[in-house]
Amino acid sequence: MWCSRMALRRLQKIAVTPLNITGSLTSNIQREMSTLPRIYVTRQIPPEGLKILRESGQVQFELWNSDDIPVPRKELLQKVKGVDGLLCTLTEKIDAELLDAAGPNLKVLSTMSVGFDHLSLDELKKRGIRIGYTPEVLTDAVAELTVALLLATSRRLIEATHEAKTGGWGTWRTLWLCGYELANSTVGILGLGRIGVAIAERLAPFKVKKFIYTDVAPRPELASVINAEYVSFDELAKQSDFLAVCCALTPETKEICNKNLFSKMKKTSIFINTSRGGVVNQEDLYEALSTGQIAGAGLDVTVPEPLPTNHPLFTLKNCVILPHIASASYTTRDAMSSLAANNLLLGLRGQPMIKELKL
């Protein structure tokens, strides 16, 4: 497992060594810029990734120079025409329409994300386009945020802050703003991967009694790291005092967290999702929260994103919603952009990517 700081240092070295070019070759490239592979970067990515692209001498690139507003679809379809490579983020839908607009020159796509539900994998496979992505480097940041969100939800921190600011803080009361402790609890993990393990490692010092998980199949090697027990989906729902969703969004997991799951959970259970919004049926979650079927929910991901401010979930005190910030640390985002840039450059050179999604 990569620590994001160590990963960033490794990626910086990779960018200098394998992708380094000689002085004479640099001069030739400067004279013949028009012959370099063309790439389009769909977002103002963190500086380390841009630095790697600029200093590589391997490509000519253009980018949508904004971090606040995604590139408009119409402009994106224009900009990708004839490109050899594409560096995108999860805000861009890479589908048949875009790939048709890009044309046959497009051979490599690098996404600055661990998730790939924004990519039409069948279309990419059909066209023989290689895919780089950025797993592992964000494990620490996502695990930390998940723990923070779990604690904020279970101990009602957002609600308490509001009360303190708005005059609700009166005399001491015996049951006011009481929440739920991790000590002696059972923590369930839906989808045990690197992030699930990292979450459990951070929660263990809170004196959690037991970790349980479910996945498409038992994962004994990962489970042994945290001494987690494999259980069925139903048992995960029934036993978990805290349930953390860490699975990828696939056709099989779409809205897997629905009334069937919530109806089996304890009334004191806390539900946390930092994976993808699409794994949750939000209408069913609203019903479970508003009726007291479960105690609370913390969400870093929703459908759509951003979630409209008039969405019913925002009306609930027992629902904490964050704007998809799980990987939002400076170190992690720089590591992600570095990995995405290196994946793209290596792919264009016909070499193995550092992290390639095999189709």
Between the CA of residue 127 and those of 105, 108, 224, 304, 355, what are the distances in Å?
Answer: 10, 11, 40, 29, 20
Q: Which residues contact 335 (CB under 8 A, 6 or more apart)?
A: 4, 5, 7, 8, 11, 48, 134, 137, 138
Q: Please list the residues that pair with 39 across neighbouring strands.
A: 61, 85
Q: Is 255 helix (H, G, I), strand (E, B) or coil?
A: coil
Query: Could you say which DSSP state residue 230 is in?
Result: E
In CATH, what is the architecture of 138-165+177-321? 3-Layer(aba) Sandwich (3.40)
Residue 277 CB burial class (10 angstroms; 0-12, 13-18, ≥19): middle
Q: Which residues are catalytic?
A: 324
Shared fold status for 30-136+329-357 and 138-165+177-321: yes
Q: How far apart are CA 347 and CA 324, in angstroms?
A: 29
**Taking the domains of the chain in order of start, what are their residue ranges?**
30-136+329-357, 138-165+177-321
pLDDT digits (tens, 9 = 90+) for 163-218: 999 999 999 999 999 999 999 999 999 999 999 999 999 999 999 999 999 999 99
Q: Which residues, other chains included, contact 109 with Cβ-Cβ below 8 Å and sequence gap of 6+?
A: 85, 86, 87, 88, 94, 119, 124, 129, 130, 131, 132
What is the Cα–Cα distance from 310 to 256, expressed in whole angstroms?
A: 25
Give the three-state DSSP class for 354.
coil
How does pLDDT run along the chain (359 residues), one tens digit per residue? 556 666 666 665 555 344 443 444 445 545 455 689 999 999 999 999 999 999 999 999 999 999 999 999 999 999 999 999 999 999 999 999 999 999 999 999 999 999 899 999 999 999 999 999 999 999 999 999 999 999 999 999 999 999 999 999 999 999 999 999 999 999 999 999 999 999 999 999 999 999 999 999 999 999 999 999 999 999 999 999 999 999 999 999 999 999 999 999 999 999 999 999 999 999 999 999 999 999 999 999 999 999 999 999 999 999 999 999 999 999 999 999 999 999 999 999 999 999 999 98
| Interacting residues of 127 by C-beta distance below 8 A, sequence separation 6+ | 99, 106
Burial of 56 (0-12, 13-18, 19+ CB in 10 A): buried
- Asked if residues 27 and 313 have their Cβ atoms less than 8 Å apart, the reply is no
Closest CA to 313 of 281, 275, 293, 285: 285
List of residues 6+ apart from 82 with CB closer than 8 A: 38, 102, 103, 105
CATH superfamily of 30-136+329-357: NAD(P)-binding Rossmann-like Domain (3.40.50.720)
253: helix, strand or coil: coil
Q: CA 112 to CA 41: how far, in whole Å?
A: 10
Q: What pTM was computed for the model? A: 0.87
pLDDT, mean over the chain: 93
Q: Which two tokens stand for residue 339?
A: 């990995």
Buried b (16+ CB within 10 A) or exposed e, 185-205: bbbbbbbbbbbbbbbbebbee
